[in-house]
């Protein structure tokens, strides 16, 4: 009897909310952001050496554009492609300029044999709130309508659905209905992934995975009305994406 080996999946890692500063050892909410990032990256290198690429879903820096050089230097040590999108603590124009060459890049669209990834900018200048400009929704619609064969993962920074954490949900994507009106037209969409909430999140909507990853720095306690630091350690999300559209994912933490 002939046994056919299963097709190898595309292996992707998501990290988010690095909040790196210019000064090493800087802290937010009492947590050393460098220590958390270093621990997460070491865990990834040890446990996922066969990753095809990494997604960084926003807040690479903590309101300091000069810190992009430290982000680039640290992530380049992985020696695998790292594709980034901006969050509300980022500077999109500076990010595009600083991360334009080499292993670590700001990216809008990634295409593989069976999957595509659309990286949207949900940041809104001068506010922590999330919003998708018409140009972002138009880009998404164009990429989906012109490539119906590839399974699709849509990436952004802000949560497009309620995180069930009231203070964070004041900053979610304000025009999330417009986003889902686009996504609902395209059955090839398999997942929407984001950061921002500094916590793990998993749900389904019309068969589409809705997923957030923990931050590499401070964790926020979910389902509380006011900001509270969670005692969970930093972490990341991994994906195995198969040619037939099947998706496996999980979160690992580095306590």
Tell me the pLDDT tens digit for each residue of 195-236: 999 999 999 999 999 999 999 999 999 999 999 999 999 999
Collapse the DSSP code of 124 into the 3-class scheme (helix H, G, I; strand E, B; otherwise coil) and give the result. strand
- Which helix (H) or strand (E) element contains residue 248? strand 247-253
Contact present, 44 and 52 (Cβ < 8 Å) = no
According to DSSP H, which parts of the chain are helical? 33-47, 68-76, 92-98, 134-146, 166-169, 176-183
Structure tokens at 155: 């990436």
- Tens digits of residue pLDDT in 164-179: 999 999 999 999 999 9
User: Confidence class of residue 6 from pLDDT cuts 50, 70 and 90?
Assistant: low
Phi/psi class of residue 19: alpha, beta or left (left: φ > 0; alpha: ψ in -120 to 50)?
Answer: left
Digit-coded pLDDT (tens) for 53-103: 999 999 999 999 999 999 999 999 999 999 999 999 999 999 999 999 999
Is pLDDT at 3 greater than 70 in this prediction? no
- Where do the domains of the chain lie? 10-250
Measured torsion, CA atoms of residues 22, 25, 29, 33, in degrees rounded to the nearest 10: 80
| Cα 233 to Cα 39: distance, rounded to the nearest angstrom | 10
CATH topology of domain 10-250: Purple Acid Phosphatase; chain A, domain 2 (3.60.21)
Q: Is 229 helix (H, G, I), strand (E, B) or coil?
A: strand
Per-residue pLDDT tens over the stretch 89-140: 999 999 999 999 999 999 999 999 999 999 999 999 889 999 999 999 999 9
């Amino acid at each position: 009897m002939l046994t056919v080996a299963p097709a190898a999946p595309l292996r992707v890692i998501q990290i988010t909310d690095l909040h790196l500063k210019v000064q090493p050892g800087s802290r937010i909410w009492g947590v050393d952001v460098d220590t958390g990032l270093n621990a997460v990256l070491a865990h990834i290198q040890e446990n996922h050496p066969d990753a095809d690429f990494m997604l960084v879903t926003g807040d690479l820096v903590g309101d300091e554009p000069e810190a992009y050089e430290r982000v680039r230097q640290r992530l380049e040590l992985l020696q695998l492609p790292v594709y980034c999108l901006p969050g509300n603590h980022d500077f999109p124009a500076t990010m595009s300029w600083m991360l334009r060459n080499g292993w670590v890049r700001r990216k809008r669209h990634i295409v593989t044999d069976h999957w595509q990834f659309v990286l949207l900018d949900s940041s809104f200048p001068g506010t922590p709130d999330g919003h998708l400009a018409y140009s972002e929704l138009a880009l998404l619609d164009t990429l989906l309508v012109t490539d119906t064969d590839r399974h699709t993962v849509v990436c952004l920074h802000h949560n497009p659905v309620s995180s069930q954490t009231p203070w964070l949900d004041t900053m979610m994507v304000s025009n999330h209905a417009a986003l889902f009106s686009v996504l609902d037209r395209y059955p090839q969409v398999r997942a929407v992934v984001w950061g921002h909430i500094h916590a793990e999140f998993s749900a389904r909507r019309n068969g589409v995975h809705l997923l957030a990853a923990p931050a590499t720095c401070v964790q926020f306690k979910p389902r509380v009305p006011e900001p509270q630091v969670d005692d969970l350690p930093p972490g990341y999300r991994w994906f195995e994406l198969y040619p037939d559209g099947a998706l496996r994912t999980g979160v690992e933490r580095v306590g």
